[in-house]
Amino acid sequence: MSHNTIAINQRMDRFDSHASVWLFGYGSLIYKADFPFLERRPAHITGWSRRFWQGSHDHRGTETAPGRVVTLVPEPGAVCHGMAYLVTPEEFAHLDHREKNGYLRLATEIGFEDGSSALGLVYIATHENAAFLGPASERAIARQIAEARGPSGPNSEYLLELAKALRELGKNDPHVFEIERHLVELAEH
């Protein structure tokens, strides 16, 4: 699949006639939403794990020195905690453009802290997209993140903000916190 996913995402139109749609955020959306929303709630989805396996050459890195950002990988029984936003369907055109580097819209069940749930959308970059980097050790990922920066800022800022936001939500993510530990260690030496 080519880098640019805008046209593919526009074909995923099942929520276009809805007045509002829940969007599940598991990366920068947890700590920053640069679009209008009707409501925001801590939430989770099941069967997916957050991983720093997606390359970023347009936000947190460059073509020659890509950064690493999160995507979700399927894992039976796993729970991924994040933040859900209730938005109007028009917001997806903006997000499709911002996340055009390999992320596809996927319909998913989103669970809330009060035990209720709703069908909504999440953006996922699968192993089939051209910017996918795949697994590496947490230390190797931290080394790459420490070196990368792009138009949206240093890759380290993205990782540190995400770790802080998860901590504020009271959620543990061993993959993210282990990369954070290595990153802090690298900065000290």
Residue nearest to ligand BEZ (CB): 27
- Mark whether 99 is an active-site residue: yes
Compute the least distance from the CB of residue 26 to ligand BEZ, in Å.
4
Summarize as ranges the residues that interact with ligand BEZ (CB under 6 A).
25-29, 99, 103, 123
- In whole angstroms, give the CA distance from residue 165 to residue 186: 21
Q: Which is nearer to ligand BEZ, 28 or 49 (CB)?
A: 28
Paired strand residues for 5: none
Compute the least distance from the CB of residue 22 to ligand BEZ, in Å.
13
Q: Which of 75, 91, 99, 157 is catalytic?
A: 99
Dihedrals φ, ψ of 81, to 5°?
Answer: -95, 145
- Enumerate residues 6+ apart whose C-beta is below 8 A from 178: 138
Q: Which is nearer to ligand BEZ, 117 or 186 (CB)?
A: 117
Q: Which is nearer to ligand BEZ, 33 or 186 (CB)?
A: 33
Q: Which is nearer to ligand BEZ, 127 or 187 (CB)?
A: 127
Compute the least distance from the CB of residue 71 to ligand BEZ, in Å.
7
Judge whether 83 and 25 are in contact, CB under 8 Å. yes
Compute the least distance from the CB of residue 188 to ligand BEZ, in Å.
28
Dihedrals φ, ψ of 45, to 5°?
Answer: -130, 155
C-alpha dist (Å) from residue 89 to 54, 63, 86, 156:
25, 31, 9, 31
Please identify every residue annotated as catalytic: 99
